[in-house]
């Protein structure tokens, strides 16, 4: 049977790729109001794809921002139910001038498809739909019950789906959720992610003088809002990258020794990571931790952007009255959102330089999520992955956040299989985002194989 | 005779104010290309005012950016020549929403005229023109020879006039220059400024990773350009505001003990300065120095603006690849531009955090300027000021920079009388810039009185 499915996918490759390209051409940038129509268009593209794959009860559900799409196929009584999740919205594409080919004109080069959203997440979520389509084409039916819930607000916080999951636990009832929004550990290595960091995103605003002042007349005696904010934020980490904000490390759980051991066996080369992925002269961060620990199981403090004073062309000699920074913490198991936020607020209040007033605003917060690798569905997924790719599946974590996984755990009480087909250098959120074309096909086959095998698990 | 002049000015007050208003209505913002036509219009307004005042040989001199205006009246053989300088360009008016009345619709409230450029420098440079007009109206002639050189690029670095002065020393030959672009020490106190700080303006660009990175996938190990720049700049000063960059204080000359003594006699209240002018909760800067020393005779390091990463509405979780800051040093006597720039560049190279590359670009540089208070022209100016205002003239410094004063000293070998009629809270470069209407009239009378008295000095 798997043979028939593989053959089907191989024969359909050209069509499958064309359809993905069509999906990628829609600039569904959820954060930009001028793309609202495109986001809507992408939602209807998804709904139509689900219909074509044989899904039923398709709903395009309006929300305050962008629509959710629900669909199901529930004709496998006695079989488990899989809830497939993905998102059809994408990040903004700027800076546009750094793209080799336009972000919304998918281009194939060296076996990759280049486009905004190729890997995050259109190209990945589409594997679920196409796996269902393939299974129905080959077998005329599905081995399990499936529900789809697809959102268009993942890149802007996912408020609508979070609310929807909380309000509809019966409708969304399932045994396990399936999310493809992560990456293989490295090309050729089947990978299941069992841990995600959380995220607390904040804004810090500093106020110095009552108005912008002339730096000649007041310079030397008047507080400067930009400099005050710089002084404050510089105290957040030591020169090696350890966070110095009291309380941040208090509830940090160390990974189990077995997990740390397994990470040590993963192929990882600091120099390659530095040169090929980061593209800088040196890595930073806690020197007593391996790089994988730093990005998977350690909390971070990051400044995402800062703005204040005069930043145009040329010179203006102001002492700025105001400055703002966007900052975040990545959270790891046992850290709580409230704990981190209150530690940060207290620290800001304590450390704000003389003459400066500061205000902290929280934009979003979600704790870290862990999945038990011994769960039967995870075990089946690992085996399916191994069968398709011909290598043992590794269990990793991911330093990013997928808040929906927490929502599924909290409101539906189900684990999530994080089965991603991207690659670490796919350039998510960056110019020249790409997705390996072969991994698109592997994704379809792996999801199909997982559904087949999961249908044989005794409930 | 002074009586006749005072009477003349008093009788003409309404007309003089109307003409100033007309001048202030022209949005001659030199830095904004879209106002190029307005800057041109202001130049012609000045030329026409000079003509109406009886000046001759009027030239509107094209430059690479905005025109210079030259004019003279040279019919007082054997008498000294005064070179009057001013600028007709203004700073941008943003943030517009903070203005009580529109910046280019002059409005009189509580004895002040509110408008961009009211004090800096239209309202002040106009006193020179109107003083000449008044002298000619009352006496039919002028007591000295005068030359006018007015520029439209003061707020954008003054490159054209600097070049012009260097190239035309014979044409501009004079005994002394007169500049009204400073302020009274405080309402009612005639003030001559005898020292100006210099300015070195630089840009620092920091580069971290090769591209913006996803903070979930790389956070904890990848260098962040914004944070690197923050870490670097925060090291420039200690928590009390002393500059920690080696070499910056090396050539700083202390003011003469007599000068320090005279400053101590000036009315100054730290609390009032803090609350009424700065509008913050605490002053900063070298605690072992008085506030006047900090703003007049001590070098400063200031960050005028910083930009990098994501600064839009909402949240984007990038590790930014680039960040830029605009910074400056105010220079005091004996510091050299080259010395300060090379100290800064060395320090940046030494202190740049691991994983970050930095580049320093110099935008402009001018050393501090001192004028000898015992020079005969300064003494005459001090006496004229005292006669008009009825109080002894004080000698102060100004923490700002007026690069033209250095050009006059270097290329024409003449001292400059810095005779300003603004007030410290005029809000130069800020919203709601104002100019005391009474000081406009005092300015006209004082400049006229100075020219009269200076005409009686034996050459």
**A187 plus A218 within the same structural domain:** no
Distance from CA of B297 to the nearest CA of A (A): 10
Determine whether the interchain pair B278/A354 forms a contact, defined as Cβ–Cβ distance below 8 Å: no
Are B360 and B385 within one domain? no
Residue B404 lies in a domain: yes
Do A379 and A407 share a domain, yes or no?
A: yes
SS (H, E, C) A283-323: CCCCCCCCHHHHHHCCCEEEEEEEEEECCCCCCCCEECCEE
Could you tell me if B7 and B89 lie in one domain?
Answer: yes
DSSP annotation of B328 reads E
**Counted domains in chain B:** 2
Taking an 8 Å cut-off on Cβ atoms, the answer to whether B323 and A306 are in contact is yes
Tell me whether residue B266 is in a domain.
no
**A55 lies in some domain:** yes
Shared domain for A174 and A233, answered yes or no, is: no
For residue B11, being part of any structural domain is answered with: yes
DSSP 3-state of A71: strand
Confidence bin at B251 (pLDDT 50/70/90): very high
CB burial string A425-445: b at 16+ within 10 A, e below: bbbbbbbbbbbbbebbbbbbb
Q: Search chain B and give the residue with CA nearest A431.
A: B211
Structure tokens at B381: 């100016």
| Partner-chain contact A311 B291, CB within 8 Å | no
A161 with A149: CB under 8 angstroms? yes
Contacts of A354 in chain B (CB under 8 A): 239, 281-282, 284
Low-confidence ranges of chain A (pLDDT < 70): 1-2, 459
On whether both B337 and B373 belong to a single domain, the answer is no
Residues of B in contact with A98 (CB under 8 A): 211
Contacts of A424 in chain B (CB under 8 A): 217
One DSSP character per residue, A260-273 reads HHHHHHS---HHHI
* Residue-level pLDDT at A2: 52
Which percentage of chain B shows pLDDT scores above 90?
Answer: 89
d(CA B367, CA B408): 13
What pLDDT does B2 receive? 52
Query: Same domain for A344 and A377?
Result: no
Structure tokens at A46: 């998804």
Q: Is A285 on the interface with B (CB under 8 A)?
A: yes
Q: How confident is the model at residue B200 (pLDDT cuts 50, 70, 90)?
A: very high
| Residues 388-407 in A contacting B (C-alpha not used; CB under 8 Å) | 398-401
List the single best residue of A117, A120, A216, A355 to mutate versus B (max B Cβ within 10 A): A216
Task: Say which CATH number the domain at A6 has.
Answer: 3.40.630.10
Question: In this structure, what CATH number is given to the domain that contains residue B223?
Answer: 3.30.70.360
> Is residue B348 situated within a structural domain?
yes
Residue B407 has pLDDT above 60, yes or no: yes
Beta strands in A49-180 (DSSP E): 56-61, 68-73, 81-87, 107-109, 112-114, 145-151, 176-179
Structure confidence by residue, pLDDT tens digits, B323-366: 999 999 999 999 999 999 999 999 999 999 999 999 999 998 98
Task: Tell whether B256 lies on the interface with A, counting CB pairs under 8 A.
Answer: no
- In this complex, the residue of A157, A281, A364 whose CB is nearest that of residue B355 is A281
Q: Are residues B21 and B116 in the same domain?
A: yes
Q: Would the CB atoms of A319 and B302 count as touching at under 8 Å?
A: yes
Q: Tell me which chain A residues have a C-beta less than 8 angstroms from the C-beta of B298.
A: 220
Q: Are residues A72 and A161 in the same domain?
A: yes
Q: Are A355 and A390 contained in the same domain?
A: no
Specify the 3-state DSSP secondary structure of B364: strand
Chain B hits for A156, Cβ within 8 Å: 314-315
Tell which of B33, B280, B353 to mutate to test the A interface (max A CBs under 10 Å). Answer: B280
Query: At which of B346, B366, B386 does a domain end?
Result: B366
Identify the closest residue of chain B to A368 by CA–CA distance: B216
Structure tokens that stand for A168 in this block: 């509809």
Mean pLDDT for B200-219 is 94
- Torsion angle defined by CA atoms of residues A369, A372, A377 and A381, in that order, rounded to the nearest 10 degrees: 80
Find the distance separating the first CA and the last CA of chain A, reported in whole Å. Answer: 22
The CA-to-CA distance between both ends of chain B, in Å, stands at 22
Q: Name the residue with tokens 């040169």.
A: A275
Q: According to the model, what pLDDT value does residue A72 have?
A: 98
Distances (CA, A) of A339 to A234, A345, B134: 21, 10, 72
Q: How far apart are CA A320 and CA A324, in angstroms?
A: 11
pLDDT of A459 reads 64
End residue of a domain, out of B316, B337, B366: B366
Hey, are the CB atoms on A285 and B315 less than 8 Å from each other?
Answer: no
Pair B223, B359 in one domain: yes
Q: Which domain holds residue A413?
A: 2-196+368-454
**Same-domain pairing of B65 and B125:** yes
pLDDT digit string (tens) for B30-67?
999 999 999 999 999 999 999 999 999 999 999 999 99
Number of A:B CB contacts under 8 A? 322
Helix, strand, coil percentages in chain A from 3-state DSSP, rounded to 5:
35, 25, 40
Average pLDDT for B108-134: 98
Residue finishing a domain among A366, A395, A415: A366
**pLDDT, greater one: B373 or A46:** A46
Instruction: Write the residue in A157, A220, A235 that is nearest to B295 by C-beta.
Output: A220
Q: Compare all CA atoms of chain A with the CA of B33 and give the residue at the minimum distance.
A: A313
Q: Report CB contact under 8 Å: A209, B280.
A: yes
Q: What share of chain B is helix, strand, coil (3-state, %, to 5)?
A: 40, 25, 40
Q: Tell me how far CA of residue B110 lies from CA of B107, B113, B120, B400, B434, in angstroms.
A: 10, 8, 19, 27, 11
Residue B47 lies in a domain: yes
CB < 8 Å from B in window 350-379 of A: 353-357, 363-364
Asked if residue A131 belongs to a domain, the reply is yes
Q: Which of residues 106-145 of B touch A (CB under 8 A)?
A: none
Residue with tokens 């360009």: B89
Q: Is B72 inside a domain boundary?
A: yes
């Amino acid at each position: 049977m798997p043979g028939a499915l593989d053959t089907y996918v191989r024969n359909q490759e050209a069509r499958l790729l064309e359809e993905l390209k069509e999906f990628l051409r829609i600039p569904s940038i959820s954060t930009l109001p001028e793309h609202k129509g495109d986001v809507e268009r992408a939602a209807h593209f998804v709904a139509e794809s689900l219909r074509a794959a044989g899904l039923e009860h398709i709903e395009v559900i309006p929300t305050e921002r962008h629509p959710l799409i629900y669909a199901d196929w529930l004709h496998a009584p006695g079989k488990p139910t899989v809830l497939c999740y993905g998102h059809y919205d994408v990040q903004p594409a700027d800076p546009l001038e750094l793209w080799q080919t336009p972000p919304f004109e998918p281009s194939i080069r060296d076996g990759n498809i280049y486009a905004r959203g190729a890997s995050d997440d259109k190209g990945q979520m589409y594997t679920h739909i196409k796996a269902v389509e393939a299974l129905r084409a080959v077998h005329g039916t599905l081995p399990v019950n499936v529900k789809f819930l697809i959102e268009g607000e993942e890149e802007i916080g996912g408020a609508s789906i979070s609310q929807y999951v909380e309000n509809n636990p019966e409708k969304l009832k399932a045994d396990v959720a399936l999310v493809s929004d992560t990456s293989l550990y490295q090309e050729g290595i089947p990978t299941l992610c069992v841990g995600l960091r959380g995220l607390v995103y904040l804004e810090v605003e500093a106020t110095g003088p009552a108005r912008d002042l002339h730096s000649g007349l007041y310079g030397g005696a008047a507080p400067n809002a930009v400099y005050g904010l710089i002084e404050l934020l510089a105290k957040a980490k030591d020169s090696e990258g350890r966070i110095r904000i009291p309380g941040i490390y208090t509830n940090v759980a160390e990974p189990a020794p077995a997990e740390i051991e397994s990470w040590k066996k993963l192929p990882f080369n600091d120099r390659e990571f530095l040169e090929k992925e980061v593209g800088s002269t040196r890595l930073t961060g806690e020197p007593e931790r391996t790089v994988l620990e730093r990005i998977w199981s350690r909390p971070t403090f990051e400044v995402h952007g800062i703005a204040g004073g005069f930043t145009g062309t040329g010179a203006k000699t102001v002492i700025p009255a105001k400055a703002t920074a966007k900052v975040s913490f990545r959270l790891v198991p046992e850290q709580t959102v409230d704990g981190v936020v209150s530690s940060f607020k207290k620290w800001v209040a304590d450390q704000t330089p003389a003459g400066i007033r500061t205000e902290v605003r929280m934009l979003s917060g979600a704790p870290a999520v862990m999945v038990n690798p011994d769960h039967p569905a995870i075990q089946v997924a690992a085996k399916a992955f191994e069968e398709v790719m011909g290598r043992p599946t590794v269990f990793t974590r991911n330093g990013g956040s997928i808040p929906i996984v927490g929502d599924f755990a909290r409101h539906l009480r189900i684990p999530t299989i994080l089965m991603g087909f991207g690659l670490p250098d796919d350039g998510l959120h960056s110019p020249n985002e790409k997705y390996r074309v072969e991994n698109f096909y592997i994704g379809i086959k792996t999801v199909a194989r997982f559904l087949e095998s999961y249908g044989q698990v005794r409930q």
